[in-house]
Amino acid sequence: MAVVIVIGAVGGFIWSRRQQSELTQARESCTAAVQELDDQYAEAQKEVDEAQQLEMLSADDVADEDTVKELKNAIDRYHKLSGDKSGLTCAADAHKDVLDYVTQQARSRADAQRKDAQAVSKAAEAVKASRKAQQKADAKAADEAAAEEKRKQEQQAAEDARKAQRKTDDQASTTSSARGGGEDIDGDWLSYPKDGKREYINARYGFGVQIPKDFAIVTPGPDNGDGQTFVDKDLDMRITVSAMHNALDTTPQQTLATYKREYDVSYSLIKGDVMVATWAQDGDVHYVREIIGDKAISMIELIYPETNHASCDPILEETAPTLTAPYAHGGADR
């Protein structure tokens, strides 16, 4: 009987120790779970507070205003469903079942809070990206506006310069026949020979060119009357210079395309407002150089027999580039 009592006492002691150990473990787990929930809430609240600053952005501040709406919804969900999940305590006199329940609740709430906080963080990142995109778009728009303003200012400055140049050239054109060192040719000016050349200046359009001194003026001149034709009979070489208004706003590309449709152009060049085209026709070499502007077109055309190319090619190469149109955009704005 005494043995039974001793065994029972020992068993009760062991059971009591086990119960106490399980209770201690339950309290530790409960305390850890509640502490983790509290720590997580404090950390999440920082992110939510930062996100609420983004919530104040207007539709003009972001590229996609729906991102702000989604952030507001995420923050509302966080406050309603997660928010402050504290209030759980691990009482010192609580039974193990109670402690286990509090532990389970703390972990469950922590999981839900974590998901809601992540949703807020994701929505906040979307708003930041949208704001950055809008800032980039605004900067681009500002740059484009500045560039457009600069273009307008440059355009106005160029127009003012053209007007001033026209006024100066008009005055020079009016008195061209009275210039020294040359002679009047139907109102145009032709210098006396110098260094083997004569300078021709058109009175109406103001374009000029250096003509070899051996070339003589012939009549009739160009059909439109706005230029002259010079001929070297020994070489059978003809140089015609003329100009006309660019009434159709023709471009160098369009002019070259016309030549290519009408002639078998063997060489061509477009550089800025200058167009060059060369072709052979009926045994003659044809070379055209035009300065094409938005107001006028100045041109020089050289024609000579292919059999004389050895003598005429150097004259072409030396004469054609001397064509100049002092008015902006290829000729007179008149």
pLDDT digits over 135-193, tens only?
888 899 898 888 889 988 888 888 777 776 665 555 455 444 445 688 888 788 999 99
Residues 212 and 73 in one domain: no
Domain closes at, from 93, 127, 146: 146
Residues 114 and 198 in one domain: no
pLDDT at 93: 80
- Residue 169 placed within a domain: no
- Among residues 103, 124, 81, 105, the alpha carbon closest in space to that of 26 is found at 103
Residue 222 vs residues 8, 238, 263: alpha-carbon distances, Å:
138, 12, 20
Its domain, for residue 85, covers 2-146
pLDDT band at 22 (very low <50, low <70, confident <90, very high): confident
- Residue 152 burial (CB < 10 Å; 0-12/13-18/19+)? exposed
In CATH, what number is assigned to the domain containing residue 217? 3.40.1000.10
pLDDT at 220: 65
- Residue 172 placed within a domain: no
Residues 90 and 225 in one domain: no
- Residue 315 placed within a domain: yes
What is the count of structural domains for the chain?
2
- Residue 18 placed within a domain: yes
Residues 118 and 246 in one domain: no
- Residue 182 C-alpha from the chain's centroid: 52
Residues 188 and 315 in one domain: yes
Residues 7 and 60 in one domain: yes
- Residue 175 placed within a domain: no
Residues 112 and 66 in one domain: yes
Residues 133 and 219 in one domain: no
Query: Does the global pTM surpass 0.75?
Result: no
Residues 122 and 198 in one domain: no
Domain closes at, from 127, 146, 165: 146
Three-state DSSP state, 56: coil
Residues 138, 242: Cα–Cα separation, whole Å:
51
- Residue 92 placed within a domain: yes
Residues 127 and 22 in one domain: yes
Residues 54 and 112 in one domain: yes
Mean pLDDT over 243-259 rounds to 94
Helices (H) and strands (E) in the chain — how many of each?
Answer: 5, 11
Each residue of 31-77: pLDDT tens digit? 887 777 777 777 777 778 877 778 788 888 888 888 888 878 878 88
- Residue 31 placed within a domain: yes
Domain closes at, from 119, 146, 173: 146
Residues 206 and 310 in one domain: yes
pLDDT at 10: 47
Three-state DSSP state, 218: strand
- Residue 309 placed within a domain: yes
